[in-house]
């Protein structure tokens, strides 16, 4: 009986750890649309639960999510459209909420750069798609391609 329970627990843990989810962070208090003269851009923030270790798999997962999340018309209405993907940790959980508790005591998503995995930016005016991979808060790799063929 104990053996079955242990095996079942291991299988459940394995299946739960394989489940990759991308959750949009909606409880951000600061304004994440930026407007400067004629140029306007949009930032969207997401948390990835159980992100893949392989960077190609991570890029594929993020691109698949990006394409299912936004339409071409929406992207073309902005100068720059960007998705930022963070790994789910205790500091950036799926229900992350920015807090302001005074000038020196605040918690913004931008402060959690060590949890940033990937950034996808599209600039439709220049037909450019940029993917930036991060590792422990440092830029690891930058990939620039055409957005539309």
Q: Are 116 and 88 in contact (CB under 8 A)?
A: no
Give the range of the structural domain holding residue 42, as residue numbers without chain letter. 20-146
57 vs 28 pLDDT, higher one: 57
Any domain includes 61: yes
Which pLDDT tens digit goes with each residue over 30-62?
655 555 545 588 888 999 999 999 999 999 999
Count how many Cα atoms sit within 13 Å of the Cα of residue 148 in the half-sphere of its side chain.
9
Any domain includes 4: no
State the pLDDT at residue 30: 62
Whole-prediction pTM: 0.80
Q: H helices of the chain, where? A: 2-18, 55-69, 72-76
Q: Which residues pair with 19 in a beta bridge?
A: none
Number of compact structural domains in the chain: 1
Q: How far apart, in whole angstroms, are the C-alpha atoms of residue 145 and residue 114?
A: 26
Q: How far apart, in whole angstroms, are the C-alpha atoms of residue 19 and residue 21?
A: 6
State the pLDDT at residue 148: 85
Any domain includes 30: yes
Q: How far is CA 78 from CA 38, 39, 52, 72, 108, in A?
A: 10, 8, 30, 10, 24
Any domain includes 38: yes
Q: How far apart, in whole angstroms, are the C-alpha atoms of residue 103 and residue 3?
A: 55
């Amino acid at each position: 009986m104990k053996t079955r329970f242990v095996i079942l627990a291991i299988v459940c843990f394995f299946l739960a750890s394989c489940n990759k989810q991308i959750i949009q962070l909606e409880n951000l208090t600061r304004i994440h649309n930026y407007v400067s003269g004629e140029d306007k851009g949009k930032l969207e923030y997401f948390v990835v639960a159980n992100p893949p270790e392989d960077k190609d798999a991570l890029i594929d997962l993020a691109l698949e999510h990006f394409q299912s999340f936004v339409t071409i018309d929406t992207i073309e209405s902005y100068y720059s459209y960007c998705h930022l993907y963070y790994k789910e940790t205790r500091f950036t959980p799926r229900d992350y909420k920015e807090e302001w508790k005074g000038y020196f005591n605040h918690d913004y998503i931008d402060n959690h750069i060590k949890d940033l995995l990937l950034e996808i930016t599209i600039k439709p005016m220049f037909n450019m798609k940029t993917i930036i991979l991060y590792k422990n808060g440092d830029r690891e790799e930058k990939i620039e391609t055409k957005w539309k063929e």
